[in-house]
Amino acid sequence: MKEGFGFRSLHPIVIGTYYAGGITFGMLLFHPLILLAGWAAAVIINVHLDGGREWRKWSLPMLIGIVLIVVVNPILSHRGRTVLYYLGDIPITLESVIYGVTLAMSMLNVLTFFVTYRLTMTEQKFLYLFTRISPKAALIAMMAMGLVPRLRRRMQELMLIQRTRGVTVLEGTIAQRARNGARLIGTLLSWTLEDALQTADSMQARGYGTGTRSSYLDYRFRMRDWGTMGGLLACSALLLLTWGNGHGFMVIYPRLGSFALSLGDGVALAAYIGYLLLPLGWEWRDRRAWLITNYGR
């Protein structure tokens, strides 16, 4: 039901471009305020797409990551003029603290943004993009994706049964556990390879390798894809232009500059946020259409 609605209805090429650009800009821009705004936009996208469930799942690792950056950067980097404090004889500078915070913001921003990638770019869409670049590699990727759950399930079964005969990683000395673990993995692999021969037969039997392949996956490039693509390109052009003129990042080293946004910074911010929120327009539009059909308002 989710496919074909709002943001998710866009063509894989548009979605691919969107994420490539979004991440690039997230890394190009280096101003705490802009990054904060970008992060807010990313959260809004998350909330719109699935009520923020996926994002919440990732929030703890992300939090640990940013705390680590914020703490470690001032300890390792001593650039900057304004010394706040001496940790033993290590100088902690204001600049490196701010730099650490901004870097953490940038990380958080990109990660939060990328969480939505998993929601909009389904495996099928990704494969569609991939097939155009390399059909063979796409097939291998597809087979690998089929294999991962199979391997995991088999490993569970194997561990369950082998426990009855004492081959287990759950009890015994560490050396024993390691030996048993290696044995389990070896058994799993030889079993799976044995079966892979049959898979190969099944592929051959269905004419694999008899000539050029075509691809079944298909997405149509609709009007809304053209529109979105145009919007994204316009925002990118504006953003790159201002960025090229030296806007959108803050001077931190050697001496902390001002937090205030210049006019150029403001334009960069607007273009960036516009870029990020553009696909949500479709989300709003479709949601409205849905409300009208169901409740007449």
Token pair in block for residue 168? 């287990």
Indicate the residue among 39 and 128 with the shorter CB distance to another protein.
Answer: 128
What letter would DSSP give residue 93?
E
At its nearest, how many Å lie between another protein and the CB of residue 205?
4
- Which residues between 257 and 286 bind another protein (CB under 8 A)? none
Contact region with another protein (CB under 8 A), list: 36-44, 111-119, 211-219, 263-271? 211-219
- Which residues between 92 and 131 bind another protein (CB under 8 A)? 123-124
Token pair in block for residue 260? 């205030």
Distance CA 167, CA 169 (A): 7
User: Residues 75, 92: contact at Cβ < 8 Å?
Assistant: yes
The angle formed by the CA atoms of residues 284, 289 and 291, to the nearest 5 degrees, is 95
Q: Does 136 interact with another protein (rule: CB under 8 A)?
A: no
Q: Does 214 interact with another protein (rule: CB under 8 A)?
A: yes
Q: Does 2 interact with another protein (rule: CB under 8 A)?
A: no
- Write the single-letter amino acid at 155: M
Burial of 265 (0-12, 13-18, 19+ CB in 10 A): buried
Indicate the residue among 180 and 228 with the shorter CB distance to another protein.
Answer: 180
Q: Does 78 interact with another protein (rule: CB under 8 A)?
A: no
Q: Does 224 interact with another protein (rule: CB under 8 A)?
A: no
Torsion sign, CA atoms 81, 84, 89, 95? negative
Contact region with another protein (CB under 8 A), list: 16-24, 158-166, 253-261, 284-292? 158-166
Q: Does 177 interact with another protein (rule: CB under 8 A)?
A: no
Residue 20, H or E segment: helix 12-28
Indicate the residue among 96 and 131 with the shorter CB distance to another protein.
Answer: 131
User: Residues 232, 217: contact at Cβ < 8 Å?
Assistant: no
Contact region with another protein (CB under 8 A), list: 12-20, 152-160, 251-259, 282-290? 152-160
Q: Does 53 interact with another protein (rule: CB under 8 A)?
A: no
Q: Does 153 interact with another protein (rule: CB under 8 A)?
A: yes
Residue 248 gets the label, from left (phi > 0), alpha (psi -120 to 50) or beta, of left
Distance CA 61, CA 115 (A): 12
Q: Which of 20, 202, 259, 284 binds another protein (CB under 8 A)?
A: 202
At its nearest, how many Å lie between another protein and the CB of residue 9?
16
According to DSSP, the β-strands at 83-87 and 90-93 are: antiparallel
The footprint of another protein (CB under 8 A) covers 123-124, 139, 142-143, 145-146, 149-150, 153, 157-158, 160-167, 171, 183-184, 187, 190-191, 194-196, 198-199, 201-218
